Amino acid sequence: MTTATQTNVTRGIFLMLSAITVFTVMSAFIKAADRVPAGEAMFFRSVMAMPIVLVWLVTHGGIMQGVRTQSVRNHAVRGIVGSCAMGLGFAGLKYLPLPEVTAIRFVTPILMVVLAALILGERFRFVRIAAVALGFVGVVIIVAPRLSVGLGTDEALGVGLTLGSACLAALAQVWVKGMSGQESTTAIVFWFSATSTVLSLLTIPFGWVWPTGNELALLVGAGIVGGLGQVLLTSSYRFAEAGVLAPFTYVSMLWSVLIGYVWFSEVPTIGMLMGAGLVICAGVIIVLRERSLGMDATARRKVKAKGLQ
């Protein structure tokens, strides 16, 4: 690896860690404003992020070039699914500790493996199956105490909302994966922000509230850092491969435990940490396996290209 490549990878890792940090802070802001309905929180998250996204578009080829799309339908589906995932995730924060919500969300990349096989026709290899099974065991360990007290409790509702968010987030990411090569990253980011802003307004009849000064500050802050996080996350992939960056997303577990303890007096249980550890292990196995398969495919293409020369 050359010095320039090492510098780029280091920069990509730094951007990813920064993105994960601000996303965790965003979740903490939303949780702190727990009186505000999830749909209203989604509105502030989306609309306050738009100026940051627009500035980012201007610096990456201009707004018109950045928002150009090949398929309105694909953006609409991705926007609806992703917005529902965001809304359910914000709602789940009201019922569960921040570290627990974070741990359950780690099931998203595991679910992506299953959905990619069903939707995109990707092969479901043994290593993937084993990793998925391990991840689901971890999730069961995390949610079992919440479900054992009864399905009609707030804790059970929080589990259902957060799992639903993770499932829809996985579906949205698989859909984005299917759009790769057809749509620019800037267009995907912009149209998602625009779609989630519009869809959040549809929740007004379900009981928006007039936020207090403190709540308004939290909501505006969530939108600003959320938009910044999106830019940092997207930029990180310009400097390093997804397989290199993916393991660093699990740093959010450390941040959520720290913020949950300091801000919300939430102490994670041993069972939750054990379950989270299994889910993280499963995710890392999938990442490493996908990276290995990608390297093998690249090597085969190089050999084939040499044979044609």
- Grouping H, G, I as helix, E, B as strand and the rest as coil, residue 180 is strand
Cα separation, 158 vs 135, whole angstroms: 19
Average pLDDT over residues 76-93: 93
Q: Which residue has the higher pLDDT, 151 or 31?
A: 31
Instruction: Give the confidence band of 1 by pLDDT, cuts at 50, 70, 90.
Output: low
In which residue are the tokens 């707030």 written?
A: 154
Cα separation, 8 vs 2, whole angstroms: 10
CB neighbour list of residue 2: distance below 8 Å, 6 or more residues apart = none
What's the gap between Cα 58 and its chain centre?
25
Check pLDDT > 60 for residue 28. Answer: yes
CB neighbour list of residue 82: distance below 8 Å, 6 or more residues apart = 168, 169, 172, 192, 195, 196
Check pLDDT > 80 for residue 62. Answer: no
Q: Count CA within 13 A, CB hemisphere, residue 29.
A: 23
Which amino acid appears at position 43 of this protein?
Answer: F
Could you give the percent of the chain with pLDDT greater than 70? 88
Task: Write out pLDDT tens, residues 166-198.
Answer: 999 888 888 887 776 777 778 888 898 999 999
Cα separation, 5 vs 7, whole angstroms: 5
Which pLDDT belongs to residue 44? 96
Average pLDDT over residues 99-114: 86
Which pLDDT belongs to residue 2? 63
How many Cβ atoms sit within 10 Å of the Cβ of residue 83? 24
Q: Which pTM does this prediction carry?
A: 0.84
CB-based contact 5:186 (threshold 8 Å): no
Which pLDDT belongs to residue 243? 64
CB neighbour list of residue 74: distance below 8 Å, 6 or more residues apart = 175, 178, 179, 182, 183
Cα separation, 241 vs 262, whole angstroms: 34
Rounded to 10 degrees, the C-alpha dihedral 91/93/96/99 comes to 150
Task: Write out pLDDT tens, residues 273-297.
Answer: 898 889 888 888 877 776 665 555 4
Cα separation, 37 vs 15, whole angstroms: 31
**DSSP per position, 77-106:** HHHHHHHHHHHHHHHHTTTS-HHHHHHHHT
Which pLDDT belongs to residue 293? 58
Which amino acid appears at position 304 of this protein?
Answer: K
Which residues are registered as beta bridge partners of 96?
A: none
